[in-house]
């Protein structure tokens, strides 16, 4: 930087920022500030302490902001009077006094430069009413955003909790029903044991029944999956066989036998092992065994489902985990899908298609916050399709970034509002149904990770792409 020509009130008056100031104010500005000629190159960097306020007199200025580890150009202008730098200095230590962007000059440029403290003093002395209005607007918007964001998080938590409760209730209820039925089967087996204890069966017959019982247990574990037509045909065959052999209630026993993988040939072997007089008792004894095994399988499946749901909830909330950690983004996406499964699959016509690149490495991230991003994007996609369509989730490598693409087959985002969707409080939903902060929150979280969000939309296809640096966000990982 080089000292430029002396500052004059006449020069400052030609800049739109100062054109309404009186002569005394312009004189004060000249005494406090200075004219500087800056050679091509960087002037200040984003995040550095904001010490100066710059007003362009001649030349060109470029403002950039970090995103995904890259400097993204925000503004390029040669307009006289364009300003940047410590423009929030008037709010003092109530906001972080750092540069919000990086500034470079591509050519030799001339600036009026004012120290941040002097800029803050002039604002307070000359424009006290405007200062209060600006402060009220800044902090009012900040407060409103925090309140609405908190409400949005609570609403999302309530919705997710309701969905999780519903998902947990189904396997829990199934386990309760299966346990009650198992009690009945065990009571029936106790009755049969009483008959056996009375000496009704010869030892050889009893040994044969025990062997057949063990075979039946093995068959249950290996039961094949049948088509509905195959099940119906096998039930007819087994029911007919049982009826022909005088087994009471044979048609009621047939479905359990089919589910266990038994067929007529196996029952023929049973009939060959026991006397005709006790065939009915033997078949009912086997039925108690088979039903007990099937019920225990149902209880095991239900409790495993509950365990999986609780695991997904812990993965989603990141309970008992450090805020910043190396995470598998696929696990985060899957846990979010589980948490939203009631909305996605609750009787709707939405198909979920996942195309994951499992070769992608884990990324350093604030995992719980990323889950909030997936929740917002998936929830928006599902809402856009109004209960019918295809939700597509893809992961792939994009240069030094991991990319997550969430697409839907809804009507698309109109071009005239596409540029506003990340604005705070902007929403296309009816009044009361959306706060307009979902995408704003998502953008802030992704930006915190030094990533970015892009959107492509046309009727029948909208896709949001989140790019996260594989190296992870920089800075304090404890915050």
Residues 253 and 168 in one domain: yes
Would you state the structure tokens that stand for residue 313, as one six-digit string? 């909830």
For 271, residues 6+ apart whose C-beta sits below 8 A from its C-beta are 245, 279
Q: Taking the CA of residue 179 as centre, how many other CA atoms within 13 Å lie in the half-sphere pointing to its CB?
A: 10
- Count CB atoms within 10 A of the CB of residue 281: 17
Residues 111 and 186 in one domain: no
Residues 352 and 304 in one domain: no
Q: Distance between CA 63 and CA 73 in Å, rounded?
A: 6
Residues 166 and 297 in one domain: yes
pLDDT at 128: 65
Is there a domain that residue 151 lies in? Answer: no
Q: What is the dihedral of CA 373, 377, 379, 385, to 10 degrees?
A: 180
Residues 296 and 331 in one domain: no
The residue whose two tokens read 């309970």 is 319
The residue whose two tokens read 């002037």 is 43
Q: Distance between CA 49 and CA 53 in Å, rounded?
A: 12
Residues 336 and 424 in one domain: yes
Residues 92 and 56 in one domain: yes
pLDDT at 197: 59
Would you state the structure tokens that stand for residue 11, as one six-digit string? 């020069």
78: CATH: 2.60.120.10
3-class SS at 21? coil
Residues 330 and 278 in one domain: no
Is there a domain that residue 416 lies in? Answer: yes
pLDDT at 37: 93
State CA 188 to chain mean position distance: 49
Query: 308, 334, 366: which is the final residue of a domain?
Result: 308
3-class SS at 284? helix
Q: For the chain, how long is the longest CA-to-CA vector?
A: 121
* Domain residue limits at 371: 323-469
pLDDT at 33: 92
Length of the chain: 479
Query: 245, 276, 308: which is the final residue of a domain?
Result: 308
Is there a domain that residue 475 lies in? Answer: no
Q: What are residue 385's DSSP bridge partners?
A: none
H or E element that contains 67: strand 61-67
Would you state the structure tokens that stand for residue 251, as one six-digit string? 């048609």
pLDDT at 315: 59
Q: What are residue 112's DSSP bridge partners?
A: 35, 55
Q: Distance between CA 316 and CA 367 in Å, rounded?
A: 8
- Three-class DSSP labels, 146-208: HHHHHHHHHHHHHHHHHHHHHHHHHHHHHHHHHHHHHHHHHHHHHHHHHHHHCCCCCHHHHHH
340: CATH: 3.30.565.10
Residues 302 and 365 in one domain: no
Is there a domain that residue 116 lies in? Answer: yes
Is there a domain that residue 477 lies in? Answer: no
* DSSP class of 431: T
Query: 274, 308, 342: which is the final residue of a domain?
Result: 308
3-class SS at 225? coil
* DSSP class of 454: E
pLDDT at 164: 62
Q: Distance between CA 252 and CA 180 in Å, rounded?
A: 19
CB 323 within 8 A of CB 368: yes
- Count CB atoms within 10 A of the CB of residue 140: 10
Is there a domain that residue 339 lies in? Answer: yes
pLDDT at 211: 79
Q: Distance between CA 81 and CA 136 in Å, rounded?
A: 26
Total number of domains in the chain: 3
Residues 289 and 337 in one domain: no
Local confidence pLDDT in tens for the 479 residues of the chain: 567 678 999 989 999 888 888 999 999 999 999 999 999 999 999 889 999 999 999 999 999 887 656 677 888 899 999 989 987 787 777 778 889 889 999 999 999 999 999 988 888 888 766 555 565 555 555 555 555 555 555 555 555 566 566 566 667 777 777 787 777 777 776 666 666 656 566 677 677 777 777 877 787 777 777 788 888 888 888 888 888 888 888 888 888 888 888 888 888 887 887 778 778 877 887 887 888 888 887 787 777 767 666 665 665 655 555 567 888 999 889 888 877 877 776 556 888 999 999 999 999 888 888 888 888 898 888 888 887 899 999 999 998 899 999 999 998 888 777 666 766 544 555 433 443 446 777 888 888 888 888 888 888 999 999 999 987 655 445 44
Q: Is the dihedral of CA 12, 16, 21, 25 positive or negative?
A: negative
Is there a domain that residue 316 lies in? Answer: no
The residue whose two tokens read 């062997």 is 211
The residue whose two tokens read 């029948």 is 460
pLDDT at 26: 92
Residues 102 and 220 in one domain: no
Look at residues 287, 289, 305, 288 and name the one whose alpha carbon lies nearest to residue 175. Answer: 305
Is there a domain that residue 72 lies in? Answer: yes
Q: Distance between CA 101 and CA 45 in Å, rounded?
A: 7
* DSSP class of 358: T
Residues 186 and 112 in one domain: no
């Amino acid at each position: 930087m080089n000292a430029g020509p002396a500052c004059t009130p006449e020069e400052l008056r030609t800049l739109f920022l100062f054109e309404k100031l009186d002569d005394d104010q312009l004189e004060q500005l000249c005494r406090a500030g200075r004219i500087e000629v800056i050679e091509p190159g960087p002037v200040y960097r984003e995040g550095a302490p904001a010490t100066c306020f710059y007003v362009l007199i001649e030349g060109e200025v470029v403002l950039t902001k970090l995103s995904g580890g890259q400097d993204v150009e925000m503004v390029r202008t040669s307009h006289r009077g364009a300003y940047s730098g410590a423009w929030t200095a008037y709010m003092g230590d109530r906001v972080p006094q750092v540069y919000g962007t990086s500034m470079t000059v591509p050519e030799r440029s001339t600036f009026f430069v004012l120290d941040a403290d002097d800029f803050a003093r002039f604002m307070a002395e000359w424009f006290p009413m405007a200062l209060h209005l600006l402060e009220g607007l800044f902090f009012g918007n900040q407060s409103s955003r925090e309140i609405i964001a908190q409400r949005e998080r609570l609403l999302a938590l309530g919705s997710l909790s309701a969905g999780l409760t519903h998902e947990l209730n189904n396997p829990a209820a199934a386990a309760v029903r299966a346990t009650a039925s198992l009690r009945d089967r065990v009571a029936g087996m106790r009755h049969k044991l009483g008959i056996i204890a009375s000496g009704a069966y010869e030892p050889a017959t009893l040994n044969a029944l025990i062997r057949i019982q063990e075979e039946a247990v093995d068959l249950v574990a290996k039961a094949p999956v049948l088509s509905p037509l195959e099940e119906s045909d096998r039930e007819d065959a087994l029911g007919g066989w049982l009826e022909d052999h005088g087994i009471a209630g044979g048609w009621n026993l047939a479905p359990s036998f089919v589910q266990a993988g038994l067929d007529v040939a196996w029952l023929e072997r049973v009939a060959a092992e026991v006397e005709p007089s006790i065939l009915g008792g033997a078949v009912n004894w086997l039925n108690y065994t088979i039903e007990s095994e099937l019920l225990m399988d149902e209880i095991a499946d239900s409790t495993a489902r509950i365990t999986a749901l609780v695991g997904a909830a812990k993965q989603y909330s990141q309970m008992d985990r450090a805020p910043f950690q190396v995470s598998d983004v696929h696990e985060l996406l899957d846990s979010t899908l589980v948490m939203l499964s009631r909305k996605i699959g609750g009787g709707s016509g939405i198909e979920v298609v996942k195309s994951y690149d499992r070769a992608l490495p884990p990324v350093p991230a604030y995992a719980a916050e990323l889950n909030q991003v997936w929740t917002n994007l998936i929830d928006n996609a599902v809402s856009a399709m109004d209960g019918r369509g295809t939700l597509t989730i893809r992961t792939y490598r994009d240069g030094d970034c991991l990319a997550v693409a969430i697409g839907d087959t809804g009507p698309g985002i109109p071009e005239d509002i596409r540029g506003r969707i990340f604005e705070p409080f902007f929403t296309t939903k009816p009044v009361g149904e959306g706060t307009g902060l979902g995408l704003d929150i998502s953008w802030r979280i992704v930006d915190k990770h030094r990533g970015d969000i892009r959107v492509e939309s046309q009727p029948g296809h909208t896709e949001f792409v989140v790019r996260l640096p594989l190296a992870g966000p920089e800075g304090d990982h404890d915050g």
